Structure 1
Amino acid sequence: MAAEFGVLGVVEARIEGRHVDLGHARQRCVLGVLLVEAGRPVTMDQLIDRVWGERAPQRAAGALYSYLSRLRRAVACADGVEIRREPGGYLLTVDPRAVDLHRFRRLMTLARGAEADRSAADLIVQALSLWRGDPFAGLDTPWLSAMRRTLLGERFAAELDLNDALLRLGRHGELLPALSATVAEHPLDERLAGQAMLALYRCGRQADADEQYRRIRRCLADELGSDPGAALRRLHEQILAADPALGVPASAVPAGESRLSGPPPAAAVVVPTQLPADVRAFTGRTGELAALDRLLALPGGDEPPLTVALLSGTAGVGKSALAVRWAHRVRDAFPDGQLYVNLRGYDAEQPVAVAEALAGFLTALGVRGPEIPPGTDERAGRYRSELTGRRMLVLLDNASSVEQIRPLLPGTGSCLVLITSRDSLPGMVAVHGAERVNLDLLPLPDAIGLLRKLIDARVDREPAAAADLAAACARLPLALRIAAELAAERTDVPLAELVAELGDHQVRLDLLDAGGDPHAEVRAVFSWSYQNLPAGAARAFRLFGLHPGETAHVDAVAALTGAGSGEARRLLGVLGRASLVQAGPGGRYGMHDLLRAYAAELAIGHDSEADREAAVTRLFDHYLAGATAAMTTLYPDGAPPAGHVDAARAWIEAERPNLAAVCLHGAAHGRHRHTIALAETLFRYLDAGGPVAEAATVTASAVSAARAVGDREAQARALSNLGRLHRRQGRLHEAAETYHQALILYADLGEPAAEALVLRNLGSVDWRLGDYRQAADHYRRAWMLYRHLGDDAGQADALVRLGLIDARLGDHEQAAQRFGSALELYATLGDRFSEAYVLSLLARLPHRPAPLDRAAAHLEQSLATVQRTGDRTAEAYVLTDLAAVHARQGRLREASGHLRRAIVLHQRIGDRASEAEALNDLGQVLRAAGDTAEARVQHGQALDLAEEIGDRYERARAHDGIATALRDTGDADCARPHLDRARRIFADLKVPAAPAIGDPATTSGG
């Protein structure tokens, strides 16, 4: 029996296409080692080392004999496969072509030796298609982890080779989206940056190519202190000079005339590195660091438990500094990345919600925004899945409760979690086995040592005063740093005099109780430092405490204070030198949570309510104005995008957390108009490319704000937007409920145009749910409203959707009439884009004269237009339509290429329903082209998606496609249950069986 083995993903074995049970994780590790070394003996000592590392149990050899015996039985029926004992060790005999790793390497060798670029590209695509995920997914030993990193490097090199081949073939246009995403993940890779620059230049975007060069030059300078290499500098010079040598080689086949048959390049594995910068002048804590170091020695066993460390201690004692210092020391032990979140657990206003923290982690792990689940439990499950088998450090800073932490714990022992909290959190120790490291006040010698690092020789000149200063600061690092900065500013004042001054403040404020509360003492230090600020800086400090986000840009502080940007920068410089704020990259500043609370308290005591309200209003106006300007640049109405698109997108991305915080703060504190306006302004950006989960949170805050002020029109708009977000996430029943609420409001408000749009969207939800009667009713009602309003575009849209239902139900004559009427309306309106779409629908109708050439020509014009404007959603739909027309023309290779590009775009956008359709379409095209095995894979992926989002029609199409592919290979027994499921679903939906690619019944009504 034929066997296939895989390590480029989960370690697996298939015999005659059926999966073999390989046993538990340790046994799969053994097979993984033998597969990597296929045809070469592996000694017993090597096996033990590679399967257990330094944590091998005493009876490891006995366990290995048992594992090998079970593996022999598991593969015994496979032809040419044998595990046997040789003088040099254990040997797995297998055809290298049956192991995906060796096939991948063989294909890459052939590709790199190929004379023709087209042949090389085809071979690389075949090689990359073998990858199913991270190598040895779910398994973790030191040897496997090292091998995983090696193999991921090989895959990345293959992707770069494919990029070069595609560029030589003139395929820069279709390559550019994937290149842009990969460059963002590998900002220091010069070869990748050069590929992106060349693709941008050939797409007529010389300025963007220049900006790409400047971006990597800045990154190299900041991160490595070096300049770009000679090759990249030469390419940049050629781009600036518009060197003809950069044109598409004459031998290249024009893009659009043919497509590769394989999948798009695999995305590089995301390795997050979220740790904050290490702490300056860190001193002491050697015992605590040693205690943390001991946690790196994980216990033995097949499934090591999750290692959790808890740093607890009073506020300002240096928990975060210690955690960050240790995390940087050991980051090489966590090659799969480091995650960090400041949970702001003691922020009375806005502690970080667990769902928000999970969304941030998932984004850092490479999960696209639209794929982030809506609920906290679902996000926690996805988060644990993403971390399975990965060696990662997770730093949860400033946590306040076990409830805030528990969903953020990985489910795998390959990770280590480090938590900081002011509380002892006994539940973490009792339930999760956390190792607690308590931080007391710095020992006096260490406290003096920190002062010595910060203010140098003055400590040694006045040792007694230095000791008194350390004691006055309660030996808390935060207070010591602030006091030291003040001492550094006043070099002419003896330390003894400064200590006396601080003592006066402590007495005056009456902050010291009999127990010597360190919170009170650090507050006295804050007061002492604050009293020495110039008036302008003191006011800026107070108002900074009113900012709802974690960090603020100079411009935001300027808005808070009412000063210009230059003056705000100067004031922040004064606060930074006093250690009252911390400067970050990109002109951003942060503040310790104790200082933030103190600043807000001072603002209430010193600034009138009117002044505070004016400051927050200026801040919110600043964010609303910035978001409006950025959105106008990115999405101008009726005009090409204006200049500075990259700057606008960068501003929104940098300020996104603050914009969300402003919306939530505004809804909670009565600033409802700001919340409504900002949420509406941001909606299109978040809907198109931002995390859908974040978009839903912001939009829900707008619903609450609109209800609070009784603005029913704003409430209806926000509900309509929220319904769309639910629909994109596959939450169809919630989308329907939300749309119904919006529909009732619009009907009461007497806004028929908005009512018609919601009816149209409700019809799209019904379409997805398979309720075609209800969908037709909603589309028909929308058409009547559009007709009453004299809205020809709306009427045409409703007719098209009604025609799609007719086609799906098998009434092709009625569908043709509706499409024809819509086509006439679009022609009158001069809407060439919609004309092209309707022509593609007419071209798909069976048993009718098909205007295929005309449809293809219109669609190609539409494709050029949407690619020029950067509308990725429209581009994906046009590519799908063009694929259907080309399939009807018998141009299967072109159809396959269009669909593969559409799938990539749908994935990036997060349009999961359309992705399922395109996967099924691709399966049909591949089957028609004779690639039955690959067709089955595509239908399988479509089935998974359709089941997840509840799209029964695409589920039935996927089952039908899998059944047909299985029958084509002679496996009728396996095909039968899929065929039965497909027939049952089609019968339940009361629609004909799955049409071929090109039939409008396969087209989305959404």
Structure 2
Amino acid sequence: MRGHEHSTNANELSGTVHGFVVQTGSVHGGIHVSGGGAREVVPPPWQLPPSVRITDRTDEIRALEAHRDRATEDGHPTLAAVSGLGGVGKTAVALAWLHTLRPHFPGGQLYADLGAQAPDGPADPGEVVARFLRALGVPSGQVPPTLGERVALYRSLTADRQLVVLLDDAATAAQVRPLLPAGQSVTAVTSRRRMPGLSLDGGHVIHLEPLSPEAAVELLEATLADGRVAAQPEEARALVALCAGLPLAVRIAGARLAARPKQGITAMVRALSEEHERLEALAIEGDHDVRAALDLSYQGLPPRAARLYRLLGLHPGREFGAPVARTLLGGDAAEALDALHDANLLVDVAEASGGERYRFHDLVRLHAAERAAQDESGDERAAALLRVGRHYLAAAGRAEEIIEPGRVGPERDFGRGVAAESVAEEDFGPVGGQTAAEAALDWLERELPNLMAVVRLARPMGAPELAWQLTDALWPLFPRRKLYREWIEAHREGLLAAEEAGNGEASCRMLTSGALGMLATGEHAEGLAMFERAAAAFLERGDALGHARTLNYRGLAHQRLGQRDRAAEFFARAAAELPAHGDLRAGALARFNLADIALAQERYETAAVEAEAARLTLEAAGDTYNAARAAGLTGRACVGLGRLERAEAELSTALSALRAEAAGFETAHVLGGLARLSERRGQPWQARQYYREAVSLYGSVGRSRSAEAVGAAARLGALESPGTADSPPAPPAPDPSGDDRRGSGA
């Protein structure tokens, strides 16, 4: 038999050839395959591994099937890629889908483990397609020698065949492409890496996240199948939470329990509760375990990405932005971040949080920290943590300057050469109609879990200065967003750190700022004691300005304790001494506090004068927040004086400014003033609206039991009682001098 001749090339075959005849040499068009003489009929291959139970994947399987329907309608092969973290159930989902297709694809099922994480490297596509050819009936001796010839034959054999193919654990899209069959076949690809490149081949890419708590409990129950989950539901939820929703981890925990039928779920919870032992506990001897799955992903990383993975494992919080990665890696970390994301070792949370932002799956974070402990020296780990701390301190300090440009703070440098290192800048760019201060406050609140984690770690890692300096930089956030728990905790830790560092000035700052947090949470006596400690320390240091500031603070504590006359004495001394020592802003705050006392005592004229003087000074100092508070207090005093037009102007200005600051407690005060103004104008319906919002705001910031909140709720109740007239008699006309009976304090 003579082959096709072209140019100077000719291939000759002699004798009798049985089975497939392959035309080679210079080939034009397709590869022609013809049957020889009588040959054995090869049954279809059915190579798919058996299915395993899956939960909570209905949406993903429905999406895969919808993609197949579209491809079939268009006359194209179906290609789908399932990506996700090792152990998240990619293969289980692919198998669950593909097994349902067997009645519709009689041509068989092909399966290949492409070994992306194999110790000796990913599988060679040429070897895989050769196995596929043999499974489809091509004798070993007749498998073509080159990849191109094998692929051509493979596609010819599958052109008219209804076939299902699973390519498991793929390394790259390039490894997959030679293995895609032709015709109306269905191919599923699983990979720990995201494979957007397969979209160019018509592929539909889905990404698997860990299971929800409910689905994870269901999987645990199916794994045990002995009633223990139903008998211990809370313990079961605790167990799957420690497995972080990773199906492999849940199955391993369930399998270990199944082997111990008399053991309660609590015992496994205990075994997993210690973080450093959790990966060890999630293993079954001689079988897959979570650490092994993550080790394989880690070993496939480029060196620079692997180092970033280790260093990010030291990060004290769950989420972090791209600037942290740049700080740790000492330069442009974009390529390394992309590699970690593509390997599904990082979850991109930018859509929910804004900017470039990532988090680790809980078990991945443990693995990364474990690799850091193994592959980084103690000095390298300490230096990395210190770089993270300095990054957050520098960013928080910059945010503080934007929010309170007039606030005088200490020079922040925690030494040991770290100050000379570069730190990546955070972006505080306003979003939408935000001001720069609002954007900076939002950044501080979003990063607060990380900032608090650094505060807690600073002393144990030998950098106490970092704890109190970061706490001090966080000061603008705490009162504005009413973050009381963090306020108290940070200042307690900051005080311990300042005392450990032997820094008297820092200790006084932590005492005064921390005591203000005590006042905000109702711990007035403890707050006063802290202020007294600070006052004594300032006197001992010879710091007259610091001592003068404690006068204002001690006045606040006495005011909260109901000792108004004693409070007024302290405020009056502070209002006189603070400007004399050069702190005009603090002096203005003392006058504001005097106005607040006067308002409570219905000395409206004094309240209006002191509040207006405070507002002018605060505006000049650039303190817009406290200036707005002063305007609100002036407006409330003017309501009492009957100067209703002035009251409306002041209260409206204050309301706009305080809403923009998201200052719920102070906004509620202003709303109460507007409600009283509406009452005096004979507008009870408007007053009710203001009181309702005020009461809601007091509740939202945890101050529903404050005197102001109780008063607003009482007035609202009175206005909503049956028989309340909508048009009460107009109040008496105010005295032209502005001093009516209420204004005189009578």
| TM-score normalized with structure 2 length | 0.52
Q: Select which of 219, 224, 230 maps to 1:288.
A: 224
The alpha-carbon deviation at position 823 of structure 1 amounts to 4.3
The 8 Å contact of residues 548 and 662 in structure 1, kept in 2 or not, is answered as: yes
Q: Go from structure 1 to structure 2 and tell me whether the alpha carbon gap of 1:560 and 1:797 turns closer, same or farther (over 3 Å shift).
A: closer
**Cα deviation per residue 1:281-336 (whole Å; 9 max; x = unaligned)?**
x999854255445338xxxxxxxxx85449889xx9x797469859xx9xxxxxxx
Pairing of 1:202-601 with structure 2 (within 5 A): 275=212, 286-288=222-224, 290-295=226-231, 308-309=235-236, 321=246, 420-423=268-271, 442=284, 474-482=286-294, 485=296, 534-573=302-341, 576=343, 581=345, 583=347, 585-586=349-350, 587-590=358-361, 591-592=363-364, 595-596=367-368, 598-601=370-373
Q: Where does residue 743 of structure 1 map in the other structure? A: 535
Call closer, same or farther: CA 1:308–1:750 in 2, change over 3 Å. same
Residues 654-676 of structure 1, C-alpha deviation per residue, up to 9 Å, x if partnerless? 53322211111112222223222
Indicate conservation of the 8 Å contact 1:923/1:934, yes or no. no
Amino acid at match of 2:447: E
Q: CA deviation at 1:592?
A: 4.1
Select the residue among 704, 707, 715 that pairs with 1:924. Answer: 715
Change (3 A) 1:713 1:907: farther
Q: Secondary structure at the match of 2:474?
A: helix
Please list, as runs of the form range in 1=range in 2, the aligned pairs for 1:794-943 lying within 5 A after superposition. 794-795=586-587, 797-799=589-591, 801-802=593-594, 805=597, 812=603, 816-817=605-606, 819-820=608-609, 823=612, 836-837=631-632, 839-840=634-635, 842-843=637-638, 850-867=642-659, 871-912=663-704, 915-924=706-715, 926-927=717-718, 929=719, 931=721
Give 2:502's aligned residue. 710
Partner amino acid for 1:675?
A
Q: Which amino acid aligns with 2:386?
A: T
Letter in 2 for 1:564: D
1:865, 1:285 → 2: CA distance?
A: 54
Whether the 8 Å contact between 2:551 and 2:574 is mirrored in structure 1 is: yes
Q: 1:795 to 1:285 in 2, by over 3 A?
A: closer
Change (3 A) 1:1001 1:766: farther
The one-letter code sitting in structure 1 at the alignment partner of 2:304 is G
| Distance of 1:276 and 1:554 partners within structure 2 | 29
Report the Cα distance in structure 1 between the residues aligned to 2:349 and 2:636, rounded to whole angstroms: 52
Check conservation: 1:554, 1:588, Cα contact below 8 A.
Answer: no
- Cα 1:800–1:288 change in 2 (3 A) is same
2:574 paired with 1:782: yes
The one-letter amino acid of 2:224's match is: E
AA paired with 1:876?
A: A
SS in 1 for 2:360: strand
Amino acid at match of 1:595: H
Tell me the distance in 2 between the aligned counterparts of 1:312 and 1:729.
35
For residue 725 of structure 1, what is the aligned residue in structure 2? 517
Q: Distance in 1 between matches of 2:394 and 2:494?
A: 17
- The 3 A distance-change label for structure 1 pair 668 and 769 is same
Q: Deviations over 1:646-700 (max 9, x none)?
A: 8756654553322211111112222223222322222322432264212322222
- Structure 1 letter corresponding to 2:314: L
Structure 1 vs Structure 2 CA RMSD? 4.9
Cα distance in structure 1, aligned partners of 2:524 and 2:337: 48
Contact 1:551 1:588 in 2 (8 A): yes
Instruction: Using the TM superposition, give the Cα deviation of residue 755 of structure 1 relative to its aligned residue in structure 2, in angstroms.
Output: 3.6
Deviation at 1:419, TM superposition (A): 8.3
Q: 1:593 to 1:921 in 2, by over 3 A?
A: closer
Counterparts in 2 of 1:746 and 1:882: CA distance versus 1, 3 Å = farther
The CA deviation string for residues 915-950 of structure 1, in whole angstroms up to 9 with x for no partner, is: 5413314423653x4727999xxxxxxxxxxxxxxx
- Residues 422-477 of structure 1: per-residue CA shift (max 9 Å, x gap): 5399xxxxxxxxxxxx99964xxxxxxxxxxxxxxxxxxxxxxxxxxxx6xx3242
Decide whether aligned partners of structure 1 residues 1001 and 838 sit closer, same or farther in structure 2, where only a CA change above 3 A counts: farther
Q: For 2:552, which of 760, 774, 785 is the aligned residue? A: 760
Q: Distance in 2 between matches of 1:674 and 1:720?
A: 18
Deviations 1:830-853 (A, max 9, x none): 7885774464455465xxx64333
Q: Work out the CA distance in 2 between the residues paired with 1:420 and 1:705.
A: 38
**Distance apart, 1:766 and its partner CA:** 1.7
Alpha-carbon separation, structure 1, partners of 2:312 and 2:532: 42
Q: What is the CA-CA distance between 1:537 and the residue it aligns to? A: 4.0
Q: Is the 8 A contact 2:695 2:704 kept in 1?
A: no
1:620 aligned residue (389, 399, 403): 389
Give per-residue Cα distances to partners, 1:178-216, cap 9 Å, x unaligned.
Answer: xxxxxxxxxxxxxxxxxxxxxxxxxxxxxxxxxxxxxxx
Matched residues, number: 466
Q: Deviations over 1:515-551 (max 9, x none)?
A: xxxxxxxxxxxxxx75x76543443344344333345
> Which structure has greater helix proportion?
1
Cα distance between partner residues in 1 of 2:618 and 2:518: 32
Q: TM-score, normalised by structure 1?
A: 0.40
Question: What's the offset of the Cα at 1:709?
Answer: 1.0
Shift of 1:779: 1.8
Whole-angstrom CA distance in 2 between matches of 1:607 and 1:825: 56
Unaligned runs of 5+ in 2: 1-205, 255-263, 274-279, 351-357, 408-427, 621-626, 726-740
1:555, distance to aligned residue in structure 2 (A): 3.7
Counterpart for residue 21 of structure 2: none
Query: Quick one: structure 1 residues 896 and 750, their matched pair in 2 at CA, closer, same or farther if it must change by over 3 Å?
Result: farther
What is the deviation of 1:277? Answer: 11
Distance 1:599 1:998 in 2: 72
Mapped pair 1:696 → 2:488: yes
The answer on whether the counterparts of 1:856 and 1:886 sit within 8 Å (CA) in structure 2 is no
CA distance in 2, matches of 1:558, 1:593: 18
Which amino acid counterpart does residue 681 of structure 1 have in structure 2? A
- Report SS of the residue matched to 1:670: coil
> Closer, same or farther in 2 for the Cα pair 1:274/1:876, shift >3 Å?
farther
Measured at CA, do residues 663 and 834 of structure 1 come closer, stay the same or move farther in structure 2, by a change above 3 Å? Answer: closer
CA 1:895/1:684 → structure 2, altered by over 3 Å: closer, same or farther? same
> What does residue 153 of structure 2 align with?
none
Seen in structure 2, the aligned counterparts of structure 1 residues 627 and 657 have a Cα distance that, compared at 3 Å, is same
After superposition, the Cα gap between the structure-2 partners of 1:678 and 1:799, relative to the gap in structure 1 and judged at 3 Å, is: closer
2:355 is matched with which residue? none
Greater radius of gyration (CA)? 2
Contact 1:805 1:1001 in 2 (8 A): no
Kindly state the Cα deviation for residue 637 of structure 1 after the two structures are TM-superposed: 6.2
Q: Which amino acid aligns with 1:742?
A: A
Percentage of matched positions with identical amino acids: 22
Q: Where does residue 991 of structure 1 map in the other structure?
A: none
Aligned partners of 1:880 and 1:898 also within 8 Å:
yes
Write out per-residue CA displacement over residues 475-526 of structure 1, whole angstroms, 9 at most, x where no aligned residue.
242144246x46xxxxxxxxxxxxxxxxxxxxxxxxxxxxxxxxxxxxxxxx
Secondary structure of the residue that 1:683 maps to in structure 2?
coil
Q: 1:824 to 1:799 in 2, by over 3 A?
A: closer
